[in-house]
């Protein structure tokens, strides 16, 4: 009964005049949902990213002697290096599963716009990244007795992750199609995201030290500019990168 | 096999003459800078090599766009040629800068915006070479190379701005000069002439090398094609 009802609503939505935007959003959501439910069943990617992040913080703890004085100046740097490293793990894995099991070809055969595939994968990656960040922040806060949940810092993390994932999704699609794929992604990605890293570290540091908005806003603006440019460019080039 | 074009041989000769003339001007025509002395003379070629480097990266981004639009093999060959040449020239520019910085800034290296950006630019295009090496299919290699060359070129100004927002000590000789820059100087007549002459010389040198490299690239593509034919 329930199923029939569902089918009939679907049929009615098919027969109704279709708006392109609605179709696009549905395709987008289907791809994001596919990634999320696959991850929910295996939990491979998130577990790996999380444990890796905690290990990186642990290593920093010994490497930098994170005492109270050092923490004030290096916390922002430690956080962003951790996110960047964990991010490459996630990006590589998310694209490699698509490539290895031939899912990418299946996706390309689907009658949806290629940009829906790009944005779907990018949003999936972004959700994984946010999840890791939302777990790392409280753990770091507890371990080092510092409150990281400040609106400014969360804004920086949002903007920085968008820029990182926008470029990262495009480059990981390229990297998985190369022979040297696992080592290729960080080499391709890190030189291009230098502006994101600098701006994010500076802005995070500024918010953590309680600097006035006027001193941080330059970095925030830079992050916004980077996000806008690279989301647009990556979306334009995605077609060329998946073409067979 | 097509023989070497006549005009290319002429261009080789012109480049060689210009180069000798530029070296002569740097050593015998320009006056000695008052505070820095002989080491200032590295400036003429330092700026010229850096210029050729940026020129090549720009050419690569432009032919990258052309490749994606028109999908013709020659644009891919041109892109690779430009980036290979520019990688070498940019590296020479960094080395020359270091030679100049040692006596003037009293250090081989500082994390100044221009130096840092130059290093990141070298790394971007080194990554470009690695990307190409990892892909066998020529068509895909060309497409990925074009996309990465464009992305890389777009990120350079943002990288520069982001590092520039920190303090700089690199002198700005052409255009407005920051008073806090160390090792700055103003150019007199012969200095300006030599400076622009070496810029011109290196641009001609770039064109000459670029032409040679594109020719080699085309021949290499032909060899690859013939080899495929034999194996089939």
Distance between alpha carbon A25 and the CA centroid of its chain, in Å? 19
- The single residue listed with the structure tokens 């255009």 is B175
DSSP count for chain A of H helices, then E strands? 10, 0
Beta strands in A91-242 (DSSP E): none
Determine contact, residues B135/A177, Cβ cutoff 8 Å.
yes
Q: To which residue do tokens 């690279």 refer?
A: A230
**Choosing among B68, B140, B158, which should be mutated to test the A contact, i.e. which has the most A CBs within 10 A?**
B158
* pLDDT < 50: residue spans in chain A: 1-15
Q: Which residues of A touch B68 (CB under 8 A)?
A: 237, 240
d(CA B160, CA B175): 17
Tokens of B58: 């720009």
Give the whole-angstrom CA distance, residue B61 versus residue B93: 21
Question: What CA–CA distance (Å, rounded) separates B97 from A144?
Answer: 43
CB contact under 8 A, A243 and B143: yes
Give me the residue label for tokens 């371990």.
A143
Work out whether the CA dihedral B103, B107, B113, B119 comes out positive or negative: positive
Q: What is the number of H-type helices and E-type strands within chain B?
A: 6, 0
Spell out the domain ranges in chain A. Answer: 22-242
* Torsion sign (Cα): B118, B123, B127, B129: positive
Residue A61 to chain B, least CA–CA distance (Å): 25
With CA atoms as reference, report the closest residue to A133 among A106, A111, A162, A109. A162
Q: pLDDT digit string (tens) for A194-242?
A: 999 989 998 998 888 888 888 888 889 999 999 999 999 998 899 888 8
Is B161 an 8 Å CB contact of chain A?
yes
pLDDT score recorded for residue A2: 45
ipTM higher than the 0.95 cut: no
User: Residue B66: which H helix or E strand, with range?
Assistant: helix B42-70
Q: Give the dihedral sign, CA B163/B165/B171/B175.
A: positive
CA distance to partner chain B, nearest, from residue A153 (Å): 19
**B33 bridge partner residues:** B37
Chain A closest-CA separation from residue B147 CA (Å): 7
Sign of dihedral through CA atoms A197, A203, A204, A205? positive
CB-based contact B155:A163 (threshold 8 Å): no
A233 and B127 within 8 Å at the Cβ level: the answer is: no
Of residues A178, A230, A243, nearest to B131 (C-beta): A178
Tell me the pLDDT of chain B (232 aa) as tens digits. 567 888 888 999 999 999 898 888 888 887 777 677 777 888 888 889 999 999 999 999 999 999 999 988 899 999 999 999 999 999 999 998 888 888 888 888 888 778 888 899 999 999 999 999 999 888 899 999 999 999 999 988 888 888 877 555 566 655 555 555 666 666 777 788 888 888 999 999 999 999 999 999 999 888 988 888 888 7
Contact (CB<8Å) B127/A187: yes
Give the pLDDT score at A66.
72
Domain locations along chain B: 6-27+40-171+196-231
B7 vs A59: CA distance, rounded Å: 61
DSSP B102-142: HHHTSSS----HHHHHHHHHHHHHHHHHHHHHT---HHHHH
Considering only CB atoms, which chain A residues are within 8 Å of B132? none
**Global pTM?**
0.85
Q: What is the pLDDT of residue B102?
A: 84
User: In the prediction, which pLDDT does A3 show?
Assistant: 47
């Amino acid at each position: 009964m329930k199923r029939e009802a569902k089918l009939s609503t679907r049929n009615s939505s098919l027969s109704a005049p279709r708006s392109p935007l609605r179709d696009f959003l549905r395709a987008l959501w289907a791809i994001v949902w596919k990634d999320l439910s696959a991850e929910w069943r295996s939990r491979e990617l998130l577990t790996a990213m999380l444990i890796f992040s905690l290990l990186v913080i642990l290593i920093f703890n010994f490497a930098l002697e994170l005492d109270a004085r050092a923490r004030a100046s290096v916390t922002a740097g430690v956080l962003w290096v951790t996110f960047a490293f964990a991010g490459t793990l996630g990006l590589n894995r998310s694209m490699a599963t698509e490539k290895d099991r031939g899912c990418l070809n299946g996706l390309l055969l689907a009658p949806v716009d290629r940009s829906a595939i790009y944005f779907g994968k990018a949003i999936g990656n972004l959700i994984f990244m946010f999840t890791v960040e939302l777990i790392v922040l409280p753990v770091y806060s507890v371990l080092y007795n510092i409150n990281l949940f400040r609106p400014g810092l969360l804004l920086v993390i949002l903007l920085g992750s968008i820029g990182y994932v926008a470029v990262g999704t495009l480059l990981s699609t390229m990297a998985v199609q190369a022979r040297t794929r696992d080592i290729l992604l960080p080499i391709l990605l890190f030189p291009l995201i230098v502006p994101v890293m600098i701006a994010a570290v500076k802005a995070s540091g500024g918010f953590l030290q309680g600097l006035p908005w006027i001193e941080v806003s330059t970095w925030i603006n830079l992050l916004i500019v980077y996000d806008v440019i690279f989301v647009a460019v990556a979306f334009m080039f995605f077609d060329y990168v998946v073409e067979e | 096999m097509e023989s070497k074009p006549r005009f290319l041989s002429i261009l080789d000769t012109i480049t060689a003459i210009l180069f000798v003339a530029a070296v002569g001007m740097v050593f015998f025509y320009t006056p000695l800078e008052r505070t820095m002395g002989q080491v200032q003379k590295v400036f003429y070629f330092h700026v010229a090599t850096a210029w050729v480097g940026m020129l090549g990266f720009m050419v690569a981004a432009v032919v990258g766009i052309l490749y994606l639009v028109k999908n013709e093999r020659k644009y891919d060959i041109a892109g690779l040629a430009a980036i290979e040449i520019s990688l070498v020239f940019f590296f020479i520019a960094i080395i020359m800068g270091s030679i100049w910085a040692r006596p003037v800034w009293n250090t081989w290296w500082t994390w100044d915006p221009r130096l840092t950006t130059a290093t990141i630019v070298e790394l971007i295009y080194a990554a470009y070479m690695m990307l190409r090496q990892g892909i066998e299919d020529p068509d895909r290699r060309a497409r990925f190379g074009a996309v990465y060359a464009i992305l890389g070129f777009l990120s350079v100004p943002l990288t520069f701005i982001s590092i520039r927002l920190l303090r700089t000590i690199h002198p700005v000789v052409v255009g407005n000069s920051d008073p806090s820059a160390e090792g700055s100087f103003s150019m007199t007549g012969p200095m300006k002439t030599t400076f622009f002459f070496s810029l011109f010389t290196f641009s001609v040198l770039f064109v000459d090398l670029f032409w040679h490299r594109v020719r080699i690239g085309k021949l290499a593509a032909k060899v690859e094609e013939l080899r495929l034919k034999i194996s089939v």
